[in-house]
Amino acid sequence: MRETAVNWPMTRRSVLAALPLAASCTTSNAEGEHVPPQGLQTPSESVMISVADAVAGVHLSARLCRYPAFRTAWLWVHAHTPDGFYAFVDHLAPSGGEPTPEGGEHVVYEDDGARLRFERHGTTLAPVQSLLRARVNASGGEAAASDLQFAPTLMRSGLLPGRMEAFGRVEGELAIGHRRYRLSGPGQFHEQRQTDARFTTPFAFASLWDDDIAMTLLAIPDQSAGYVLRAGEAPRPGTVRFGRPGERRALRIDFGPHDFLEGHATSVVRYTIPIYGEAWRGAFVTADIGGRRLLGAVNDWRPEALFPGV
């Protein structure tokens, strides 16, 4: 397990590249320069694709979050490969002031420079295919390019209003500098639109998948919820328990008395992203839940509120 701690205050564009070894850096900040301001209600559009290829030894996630009223987008690209860890974060990417059209059967989310471009074919609640085109170049680091195609097999409206989650198969390529990886594995796609401020409520979150099973787990102060999807079966909702953050983490979902799944997630790589002067904590993981091996991610925001002493 390798870890990169990125705990600098975020104001202007913040980028980090780390290949072949994880690293960290610092940028200056002045109060009030966060975009959007912390805690402000404003329309936002988040879209993300993640994939894990156990044979290639690659975990990859790319996320775009547009804030049309501020003509700004947040861009994240993170990849763990056999050659090292790569991270790109930009919280001041120029983006148009118009909301992305929500209806229709072909929707494109992107920043002005099209460094991250997501296409969704099909409706929000019934996507047929999603595409990612990523072209990012971290300051002082290597360029990363990825083209992915996501085909959903399991779908559900998310645990939060305005969120759709789909799970399925991802095919494509990733290039970092001169290194190239052909990817084929289970993955996840989500869209989430909201007006409520993001990154206010502490949470622990897990998204875990294989070809015929997927689960989402979420805990916030005094509440928890999750669900398990299996091919050909109705979704199974339940309440969730997370173990304390660490390299090996207990996970459990209870469906009813004496009816539960439990296991643990083991970090492949742990990293942080600077958000409003604090550290969002992420991890690519492998998991064993109820005897099934799953791949995915476990993330935390303000974990000290859920796990005192962290």
Written as six digits, the tokens of 101 are 């059209």
**Average pLDDT over all residues of the chain:** 89
Helix, strand, coil percentages in the chain from 3-state DSSP, rounded to 5 = 0, 60, 35
Residues 77-112: tens digit of each pLDDT: 999 999 999 999 999 999 999 999 988 899 999 999
CA distance linking residue 209 with residue 286, whole number of Å: 10
What is the mean predicted confidence (pLDDT) over 253-271? 97
Residues 231-252: tens digit of each pLDDT: 999 999 999 999 999 999 999 9
What is the mean predicted confidence (pLDDT) over 31-48? 88
**58, exposed or middle or buried, with CB in 10 Å at 0-12, 13-18, 19+?**
buried
Q: Which domains are delineated in the chain?
A: 44-194 (2.40.370), 202-310 (2.40.370)
Q: How does DSSP classify residue 197?
A: P
What is the mean predicted confidence (pLDDT) over 114-142? 91
pLDDT at 222: 93
The 10 Å CB-count burial string (b at 16+, else e) for 281-305 is: bbbbbbbebeebebbbbbbbbbbee
Asked whether the predicted pLDDT for residue 166 surpasses 70, the reply is yes
What is the mean predicted confidence (pLDDT) over 9-34? 35
pTM recorded for the entire structure: 0.89
What residues form DSSP beta bridges with 234?
none
What is the mean predicted confidence (pLDDT) over 66-77? 98
Q: CA 195: distance to chain centroid? A: 19
